Structure formats: C-alpha cells, structure tokens
Amino acid sequence: DTEVTQTPKHLVMGMTNKKSLKCEQHMGHRAMYWYKQKAKKPPELMFVYSYEKLSINESVPSRFSPECPNSSLLNLHLHALQPEDSALYLCASSRTGGAGYGYTFGSGTRLTVV
C-alpha cells in the first residue's frame, strides 16, 4: 500500500460545529503532516508528528487540534472555525529520515465553513 487516504473528501460545516478530518497510511512512515492550501496558493505546513508526538506547530490557531492515535492514523479536529478557514487540507507522510523525495500526499479534504 503506497497511498495516503484522507476522509472525507468534502466537508461543509457551520461555525459552531465540531468535525474531524482523518488521514491514514500503511507504509510504515513514522512522520505525518498536515498542510493547509488556499485557492491558487502553495500548501502551507501546519503540524508535524514524529513517532506519534507533535514536533512542529506552525503557530496554528487552537481551533485546529491535531491528534495522532497510532503510527498509521492522523486526525485534525476542527471547532469554531471561521469562513476564512475554508481551504484544501492535505495530509502527508514520510520516513523520519526526511529525505525530500519520500513525501507521500493524500488527495486532501476540501473544507467549506459557512
């Protein structure tokens, strides 16, 4: 299995809702990442998990809460989002050696906040 699977593919949520994005990989990668991508912009790194521990938080607002329950699964819990948080959320994984060619990205969750 050489894929990163993200669910759901599309999500519409209200500003008072709580929702979660899910990311799964079975490549044995011990580093996992969340990126946010606005329209016509490059992906921006949000969080990095290494060996199931949060190692990098790029000053992301607390309404985004990541979780790594095990080495194959990464979640992003969403609460009290704003319309400007609407974006494509991408998950990626890699070996912790971090060679730049080794990143595998999912197809993303397109989030709309209304």
Q: How far is the CB of 17 from another protein (least distance, A)?
A: 23
Alpha carbon of residue 92 to chain centroid: 7
Cis status of the peptide bond prior to 8, with omega within 30 of 0 = yes
The C-alpha torsion from 6 through 77 and 88 to 101, rounded to 10°, is: -60
Nearer to another protein, 35 or 64 (CB): 35
Nearer to another protein, 17 or 57 (CB): 57
Radius of gyration in angstroms for the set of CA atoms belonging to the chain, rounded to a whole number = 13
Q: How far is the CB of 106 from another protein (least distance, A)?
A: 5
Q: What does the binding site for another protein look like in residue numbers (CB under 8 A)?
A: 4, 30-31, 33, 35, 42-45, 48, 50, 55-56, 88, 90, 92, 94, 96-108, 110
